[in-house]
Amino acid sequence: MDRSNFIREIESGLNSKFGRGIENATPVQLHDSIAGAVMRDISGRWNKSVEKHLSGRRACYLSMEFLMGRAVYNNLLCLGIKDEVDGLLKEHGRSLSELEEIEDAALGNGGLGRLAACFLDSAAAHDIPLDGYGIRYKYGIFRQAIENGFQREYADDWQKYGDPWSKRRDSDAVEVVYADETVRAVPYDMPIIGYGTENVGNLRLWQAEAVNEFDFAKFDCGSYAEAVAAKTSAENISMVLYPNDNCEEGKILRLKQEYFFSAASLADIVKKHIERSGTLDNFADKVTIQLNDTHPVIAIPELMRLLCDVYGMDFERAFEITRKTFNYTNHTIMQEALEKWSAALMERLLPRVYAYVLMINERFIKEMYALGKDREFIRRLAPVSDSTVKMADMAVYMSSYTNGVAKIHTDILKADTLKDWYGLYPERFQNKTNGITQRRWLALCNEELSALITRLLGNDGWIKDLDRLAQLKKYADDEDVLREFMAVKETKKRQLADFIRVHDGAEIDPGTVFDIQIKRLHEYKRQLLNALSILYIYYGIKDGSIKDFTPTTYIFGAKSAPGYRRAKAVIKLIGEIGKLVNSDPETKGLIKVVFVQNYNVSYAEKLVAAADISEQISTAGTEASGTGNMKLMLNGAVTLGTLDGANVEIAEEAGEENEYIFGARVDELKKIMPEYDPRKLVFSDEKINRALDKLIDGSLDDGGVPSGQEGSFKELYKALTDGASWHVPDHYYVIGDLNSYVEAKLKANADYRDGLAFAKKCWLNMCSAGKFSSDRTVKDYAENIWKL
Ligand SMILES: *Cc1c(COP(=O)(O)O)cnc(C)c1O
């Protein structure tokens, strides 16, 4: 777009809507006008792209979560006008950086939702016809504050300044029918602007509304509450995102949400298809649907219902089309995250859909008997057994392809979690190692490093072809380049320190090592291991057993599910360790611990660019892939991690000598865990005992909460040493890995002293991150699953 034209557009928007000019507009008004100008600018090619996607074969990405982050900077970047707009604003005494108060669109919990956002970005940039479908929650993931060391949750009213990046499309509204309620699903479309291309993808988010605003008959009789009851009930469906990451709740509202967006999306997809093809016979030739985890799997029986009940197709033909249409991405092997529904509940809420679940189940049983499978095998795999609907089993049975999200994860699926299914249908299984978009996670969040890369490569082609970074490996021993690289890192550390001072009121020193663990708070991610290692090291420094320690700042960012007591206790514990360590004059300047508030996409952009050490320390076999690990690698951090998820491939790409790998591997844990008794280690190892003892010696303040309550450190201690009836002691092998973790951590700490040698490792990590572009992942889906 013409730059002066664009500024005129912003000015006229400001003037007509708010009666202000650029100089005296509020940041919110400025944001609104910039968004308005962009939306007007792209509207022509957005419409064209939507129509183009619909006229050919296209892929639809159904996801309960889209963790988009802030749109304005990314959209300007993708249009190639970010610097110009900033420059023009500056001529008027304003700056794009003022828009930091605009909320993130945080309609997701963590990695799974962010993956969906990265995929849309990559597909748009590479002209791949992929469109997203999800829910327009009124409240996304809660805003977190740390008060007195405890997490507090506040409603995330992300639309409080409006939503200028969406277009409401009333003409495409559809009705979604439950047993005792019918609601209206109204789509809001967000453009996904492809970088350096005319293509604009579409994210369609459904909002639940009442079919009738309210019931006048009831209102006339004076029954106000009843009159608005239907409205309230309908709107509740898209009111709030469930804040659990990797943990299923089995609540009826959740099933309503899943059906709501699955049914609305399918109605829309089918309608658009028929408008263009006039028949459903070729549906699976024109449409392929990717299910992001099991959350949208209810779409499978819903498509069967549509094809048979509404369009009169016979069951076998519908079955064939449905199976051809769907593909399923598995994101976890952890039992507590595998989605199951009470059959009675599903039948009560969705009787006709449930009837198709049963028909699918019957067909499965017949097919298996014909193959000579035994009853036990059939019971294990059947989509319905023991009065339970097992969504993962239905997904594998009723789809063309099932994929895991990192090599090791797919291997575990085949060998373990979905072993029987793999035996039945080996040709259906694929691996698609996750990725991240380098537009947001390098070009946008680290302009300084981007400029260095572009200068050395001679062009910015890496922004759409990340493999080109490998050409920079030749500078790994070039002192001038490494020194510039180190200067960039220092700049980013200084910027982060400034932000943390304002945002969290903590003072940190950019001259120290930044050791960063940022991700959802979960036992399997083992923030507790990190916390214990800090105590271990702290006492080691004090008693002189750890010498020459390079001053380090340990930074944590994480949200806990509001009802997850143990995770909340870990947050409180990290805060207390911070208090202890940060105030000790003996270790002053050596160790500092900071827990930043409200970790989200925008915060992540600042943190990943400033990290020296990337903490990826999940128990081997628990983190399906991880994507935070990739963001940190791309920005030139070394990984301190276990051989889990994509860490395995990160070490493969960058060379294990450039990472700090520790801990028991998956195959080792298999042998260790049945015999594992952490008490033996605790009581035989004085240093482990000393660190652990801080949980129970009363010197750290957990708020005096009784054991088992939020904040209770005693309960954390017991979980590590006693276990519980439903949990073996130290289920995640924290104590078992502690020694090798501390050893690797201290090795990294010592290596940092040789600045150039450490920078070389960081450099090689950055240069080796090409594989982890979501461009690669999406192209692989497009070619081998979607067949676009
Ligand atoms: C990338 C990202 C995640 C995923 O992090 P993992 O370390 O892979 O769990 C979670 N939250 C936000 C805000 C992110 O940007």
Domain 439-772: give its CATH superfamily. Answer: Glycogen Phosphorylase B; (3.40.50.2000)
Taking the CA atoms of 464, 466, 468 and 469 in sequence, report the sign of the dihedral they define.
positive
Structure tokens belonging to residue 670: 């298999």
pLDDT at residue 726, rounded to an integer: 62
- CA 705 to the chain's CA centroid: 32
Phi, psi of 591 (to 5 degrees): -130, 135
Distance CA 255, CA 595 (A): 34
State yes or no: is 410 an active-site residue: no
Nearest CA to ligand 1 atom 15: 601
Are 199 and 127 a contacting pair, CB within 8 Å?
A: yes
The one catalytic residue in 520, 522, 760, 761 is 520
Stated pTM of the model? 0.98
Q: Which one is catalytic: 417, 627, 639, 642? A: 627
Span from the CA of 601 to the centroid of ligand 1 (angstroms): 8
Q: Whose CA is nearest to atom 10 of ligand 1?
A: 110
The residues pairing with 106 across neighbouring beta strands, listed in sequence order, are 67
Gyration radius of the chain's alpha carbons: 27
Catalytic residue among 53, 70, 136, 331: 331
Q: Are strands 66-69 and 105-107 parallel, antiparallel or unpaired?
A: antiparallel
627 is a catalytic site residue = yes
Here the contacts of 752-758 (C-beta below 8 Å, separation 24 or greater) are: 752/513, 752/550, 752/612, 753/548, 753/550, 755/486, 756/479, 756/482, 756/483, 758/612, 758/638
Q: Which protein residue's CA is at the shortest distance from atom 9 of ligand 1?
A: 519
| Ligand 1 atom with minimal separation from the 626 CA | 8
CA 107 to ligand 1 centroid distance, Å: 13
For the purposes of burial, counting CB atoms within 10 Å of the CB of 33, is it exposed (0-12), middle (13-18) or buried (19 or more)? buried
DSSP string, 427-444: GGEEE----B-HIIIIII
Instruction: Give every residue of the chain whose pLDDT is below 70, as ranges.
Output: 1, 214-222, 723-727
pLDDT value for 1: 63
Q: Alpha helices, DSSP H only, in 403-478?
A: 407-412, 419-424, 438, 447-457
pLDDT at 724: 60
How far is C-alpha 363 from the chain's CA centre?
Answer: 35
Rounded distance from Cα 519 to ligand 1 centre (Å): 5
Q: Please name every residue paired with 552 in a beta bridge, in sequence order, or none if there are none.
A: 513, 591
Domain boundaries, the chain: 439-772
Closest ligand 1 atom, CA of 631? 1
Burial environment of residue 91 by CB neighbours within 10 A (0 to 12, 13 to 18, 19 or more): exposed
Helix (H, G, I), strand (E, B) or coil at 328: strand
Closest by alpha carbon to 347, among 156, 572, 179?
179
CB-CB contact of 753 with 746 (8 Å): no
* Residue 570: per-residue pLDDT: 98
Is residue 158 within 8 A of residue 70, CB to CB? The reply is: no
* Catalytic-role residue among 138, 286, 432, 525: 525
To the query of whether residue 520 is one of the catalytic residues in this protein, the response is: yes
**How far does residue 445's CA lie from ligand 1's centre (Å)?**
15
Is-catalytic flag, 409? Answer: no
Task: Specify whether the CB–CB gap between 255 and 348 falls below 8 A.
Answer: no
* Residue 436: strand pairing partners: 773
Question: How many Cβ atoms from other residues are within 10 Å of residue 683's Cβ?
Answer: 11
Active site residue 572: no
Nearest to 549 by CA among 751, 758, 750: 750
In angstroms, the CA 743 to CA 669 distance is: 19
Contact of 485 with 762, CB cutoff 8 Å: yes
Q: Which residues contact ligand 1 via a Cβ below 6 A? A: 110-111, 114, 519-520, 600-601, 604, 626-628, 631
- Say whether 525 is catalytic: yes
Task: State the DSSP H helix or E strand holding residue 554, giving kind and residue range, or none if neither.
Answer: strand 552-557
